[in-house]
């Protein structure tokens, strides 16, 4: 089944017959270098400041509609900020679905859309003011990301857990076929790893030596019904992924310097014949003390008093929308 899904997705992203012939042309390579030079990387301090604002956006978005998933969003904020403001080679103001010549990101645990929408807006994919439409009727910012509304930055619908890795592997293979040296990134929840499709995709990736993908699991030990250890133990994740043929790294996900170091190290491991998995330790609800370390805030919005409490803990660094 993984073969079928990934092949279909390869076809979706693949323009191989026309693109492969020109992929390594001097023109494309020069454009890639120029783009990389134009992209300005930010300091750890600047990134931490952006993360403060993104966490404000998350709790305000979810509070405004009394709906959404703040816990995982807050826990993964540092990862998203590091990725979009420092690691990715991407084109926020020139978004297209193919993404040829740029790195791609696929969110597999789509329910943590608040953090993704905030980071996409704050990095220039769409107006920051549009965050105020989150989960409202006819919005482009659906509770779970979809492509139907045409929101820049979203290349596949997500939310049905377990599918994102297959999608990303198709895209990663297409990049190889097209001679595109860019990297494909994915993020998954740890509860999501209980899905069978994940392990089909894991086998597929190693078999096909897809070494231009960097996947990350948000290891917060929590899922909607409680601790992962009680719902269905994940066992030794490092040993499992290594047994499936992946290179495995570990990273502290709520320390910006460590996230930058971890992602940069993972990048250095691409192109060596094996897919790469980062086991990222985070605290669900990170940044808001009463939301931290509990599954209670997996999919619950703060009330007015709780919002005020949360905002009191988070600095407004870029201006609220
Ligand atoms: Mg989790």
Domains, the chain, in order of start with CATH, read: 2-14+38-311 (3.40.50.970)
Distance 101 CA to ligand 1 centre (A): 32
Distance 221 CA to ligand 1 centre (A): 5
In the chain, count of helices (H) and strands (E)? 13, 7
What confidence score (pLDDT) does residue 24 get?
Answer: 35
Distance 118 CA to ligand 1 centre (A): 20
Q: What is the mean pLDDT of the chain?
A: 89
What confidence score (pLDDT) does residue 42 get?
Answer: 82
From the list 212, 201, 208, 272, the residue with the least C-alpha distance to 241 is 201
Distance 236 CA to ligand 1 centre (A): 15
Is residue 7 scored above 90 in pLDDT?
no
Q: What is the mean pLDDT of residues 10-30?
A: 37
Distance 43 CA to ligand 1 centre (A): 28
Which conformational region is residue 226 in: left (phi greater than 0), alpha (psi within -120 to 50 degrees), or beta?
left
Q: What is the mean pLDDT of residues 79-98?
A: 97
- pLDDT tens for 110-122 read 999 999 999 999 9
Residue whose tokens read 């509990």:
294
State both tokens at 253: 């996900």
Is residue 192 scored above 90 in pLDDT?
yes
Distance 37 CA to ligand 1 centre (A): 36
Tell me which residues have their CB within 5 A of the ion that is ligand 1: 189-191, 220, 222-223
Distance 47 CA to ligand 1 centre (A): 24
Residue whose tokens read 């390594």:
24
Distance 241 CA to ligand 1 centre (A): 17
Is residue 199 scored above 80 in pLDDT?
yes
What confidence score (pLDDT) does residue 111 get?
Answer: 96
Distance 72 CA to ligand 1 centre (A): 7
Distance 27 CA to ligand 1 centre (A): 43
Q: C-alpha 279: how far from its chain's center?
A: 13
Distance 181 CA to ligand 1 centre (A): 31
- What is the distance between the alpha carbons of residues 40 and 306, in angstroms, rounded to a whole number? 36
Is residue 208 scored above 80 in pLDDT?
yes
More confident: 25 or 88: 88
What confidence score (pLDDT) does residue 21 get?
Answer: 35
- What is the distance between the alpha carbons of residues 158 and 173, in angstroms, rounded to a whole number? 20
Distance 124 CA to ligand 1 centre (A): 28
Distance 111 CA to ligand 1 centre (A): 11
Distance 225 CA to ligand 1 centre (A): 10
User: Which pTM was predicted?
Assistant: 0.88
Pairing of strands 222-223, 226-227: antiparallel
Distance 280 CA to ligand 1 centre (A): 11
Q: What is the mean pLDDT of residues 139-144?
A: 96
Distance 90 CA to ligand 1 centre (A): 27
What confidence score (pLDDT) does residue 64 get?
Answer: 97
């Amino acid at each position: 089944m993984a073969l079928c899904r990934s092949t279909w997705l390869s076809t979706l992203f693949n323009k191989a017959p026309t693109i492969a012939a020109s992929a390594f042309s001097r023109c494309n390579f020069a454009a890639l270098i120029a783009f990389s030079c134009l992209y300005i990387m930010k300091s750890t301090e600047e990134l931490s400041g952006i993360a403060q604002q993104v966490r404000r956006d998350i709790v305000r978005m979810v509070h405004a509609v009394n709906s959404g998933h703040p816990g995982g969003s807050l826990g993964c904020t540092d990862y998203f900020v590091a990725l979009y403001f420092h690691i990715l080679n991407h084109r926020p103001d020139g978004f297209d679905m193919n993404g040829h010549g740029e790195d791609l990101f696929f969110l597999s645990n789509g329910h943590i859309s608040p953090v993704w929408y905030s980071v996409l807006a704050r990095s220039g994919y769409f107006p920051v003011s549009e965050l105020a439409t989150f989960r409202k009727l006819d919005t482009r910012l659906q509770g779970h990301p979809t492509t139907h509304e045409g929101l820049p930055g979203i290349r596949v619908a997500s939310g049905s857990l377990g599918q994102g890795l297959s999608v990303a592997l198709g895209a990663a293979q297409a990049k190889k076929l097209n001679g595109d040296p860019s990297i494909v990134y994915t993020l998954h929840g740890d509860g999501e790893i209980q899905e069978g499709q994940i392990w089909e995709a894991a086998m597929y990736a190693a078999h096909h030596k897809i070494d231009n993908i960097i996947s990350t699991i948000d290891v917060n030990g929590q899922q909607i019904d409680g601790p992962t250890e009680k719902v269905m133990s994940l066992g030794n994740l490092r040993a499992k992924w290594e047994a499936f043929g992946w290179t495995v790294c570990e990273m502290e996900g709520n320390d910006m310097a460590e996230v930058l170091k971890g992602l940069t190290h993972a990048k250095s491991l691409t192109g060596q014949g094996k897919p790469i998995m980062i086991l990222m330790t985070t605290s669900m609800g990170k940044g808001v003390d009463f939301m931290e370390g509990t599954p209670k805030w997996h999919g619950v919005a703060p009330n007015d008093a709780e919002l005020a409490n949360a905002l009191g803990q988070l600095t407004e660094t870029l201006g609220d929308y």
